[in-house]
Copies of this chain bind each other. A is one copy, B any other.
Amino acid sequence: MAEPGTIDRPSYGMVGGGPGAFIGDVHRKAIALDGSARLLAGCFSRHHEGTLETGRSLGLDPQRLYRTFEEMAAAEAARDDGIDFVVIVTPNASHHPAAKAFLSRGIHVVCDKPLTLEISEAEELAALARRNDLLFCTTYTYTGYPAVKHARAMVAAGELGEIRFVNAEYAQEWLATPLERDGKHKQAAWRGDPAQTGIVNAVGDIGTHVENLVRTVTGLRIGYLSARLDTLVPGRRLDDNATVLVDYEGGARGVYWVSQVAIGRDNALRLRVFGSKGSLEWSQEDPDHLQVSMLGRPSERLSRGRDPFHPGAQRHSRIPAGHPEGYFEAFANVYRAFTAALRKKLAGKALAGEDLDFPGIEDGISGVRFIHRCVESSSRGSARVSF
C-alpha cells in the first residue's frame, strides 16, 4: 500500500465509528486525504460483529479488531508495532474511560468533543497525559479551517485593535421536530439520551464548538456568563436552543446563540469579532472566505489563497483560491498538525508551541467547563456565574 507521505507516518487505532455511525468515517477519510496516518486496529462497535464488519471493509488484520477498548489498549500497548495513537469517536459518556485506558498505557489520544461529562474527568485526563508525556487532541474541527487560522493571526497581531465584542452563533434545523423519539435516527437518539450525552444536548454538541471557536480566534478567556437553555420542542428531555451572555476577562463582552430548531439552517456556525480598529466575520458554510472591515473603510472579502492571507494560515491549504476546500480539509488539518507533532515527538525531538497548532486538552477542559457553567446559570434564572 502506498499513500502520500507513507514511510514515516504514524499508525492509529479507532474506538467507535462502526456501522451506522457518522463521524468515525469522517475521521478516517480526513486522515486518508493527506495520508497522515495508517489505520491498523479498531474497536468500532459495542457489538463485536459490527467491529468485524467495519474492520473487514477497511482491510484490517482481524487480530487487531477488539471486543472492548480496554482489551485494545492492553494488546496494542504490548505489541512492538502497536498503534501510535488512538482516535475516540464514541458517544460522549465513554470518552473519559476510553481516553484514560489508552493514556494509562502510554498511547497518544485524539478524542471527540465534548471531552467528558464532568470537569474533573477532563482534568484527570489532562494530568494523566502530562504525567505520561503524551499528546492529546480534542477534535474541535472548525478551528482547522485556514480562514480561522487567519482570523486568529489577525487578532493576535492586533490588526483589529482591542477586542470589544464577539457575536457567535451555531444554528441548525435538524432537531426542529422530535426526531429522537421514533428511534430510527441513531444520532438523534443518543444525543437526546442524557445517559449517553450528558446534562446538555445543544450546548454540548454545538455550543462547545462556539465556545472553542471564540477562544481559539480571539484568545479571550471567559470571566462570567449568564445562560438561558431552552427546550423549544415540547416533550424533549434536553436543551435544543441556548443563549449565553459572556463577560470576558479584560472587559470585552459577547453573546453566543446556538439552536438545533432553526428551520432553514444547515450547519450555520458563524463568528463575528469586533475590535477598536476593525472587525471580522466568518461563516463555516462558506469557509474559504472571511469578511474584514476596518474603521471607516469598505468591507473586504478575503479569499483563502489570495493576498493578504496570512502565510501561517495559507500553509493549511492545498489548492489555489477559488477551488473550495471544506469540512474534510479542515478535519485533515487537525490531523496533519497532530501527526506532525507526533512524528517529531516519536523522533525524540522537543516540541515548540507552534508545533501544537491543534486543539488540545485545555480546549477540551474549557468546553466541559462551559457546559457546566451554562447549566448552572440557566438553572438559577440566568444568573451571572463565574467561569
Q: Chain A: residues with CB nearer than 8 A to chain B?
A: 1-7, 22, 25-26, 28-29, 31-35, 38-40, 57-61, 164-165, 167, 169, 172-174, 176-177, 226, 228, 230, 232-233, 241, 243, 245, 253, 255, 257, 259, 261-268, 274-279, 281, 284-288, 291-303, 305-308, 318-329, 381-382, 384
Main SS at interface, chain A: loop
Question: Bound complex: CA of A326 vs CA of B61, how far in Å?
Answer: 33
Q: Name the B residues within 8 Å of A230 (CB-CB).
A: 165, 253
Question: Bound complex: CA of A278 vs CA of B52, how far in Å?
Answer: 43
Question: Bound complex: CA of A262 vs CA of B272, how far in Å?
Answer: 10
| Sample of 15 further A-B pairs with CB below 8 A, known A259-B274, A264-B291 | A2-B58, A3-B57, A3-B59, A4-B58, A164-B232, A165-B241, A167-B169, A263-B274, A263-B275, A264-B278, A266-B322, A267-B322, A296-B307, A323-B326, A325-B328
Q: Name the B residues within 8 Å of A294 (CB-CB).
A: 263-264
Question: Bound complex: CA of A274 vs CA of B26, how far in Å?
Answer: 31
Assembly stoichiometry (copies) = 4
Closest B residue, CB atoms, query A41? B2
Q: B38–A322 contact, CB under 8 A?
A: no
Q: Which of B31, B61, B169, B265 contacts A322 (CB 8 A)?
A: B265
Q: A308–B303 contact, CB under 8 A?
A: no
Q: Name the B residues within 8 Å of A326 (CB-CB).
A: 288, 323-326, 328-329
Question: Bound complex: CA of A285 vs CA of B60, how far in Å?
Answer: 37
Question: Bound complex: CA of A60 vs CA of B35, how far in Å?
Answer: 14
A209 to chain B, nearest CB (A): 12
Q: Name the B residues within 8 Å of A1 (CB-CB).
A: 5, 38, 57
Q: A255–B253 contact, CB under 8 A?
A: no
Q: B324–A324 contact, CB under 8 A?
A: yes
Question: Bound complex: CA of A259 vs CA of B276, how far in Å?
Answer: 13
A34 to chain B, nearest CB (A): 7
**12 interchain pairs, CB-CB under 8 A:** A1-B57, A33-B33, A165-B230, A174-B320, A243-B253, A243-B255, A263-B277, A266-B323, A285-B322, A292-B298, A297-B308, A324-B326
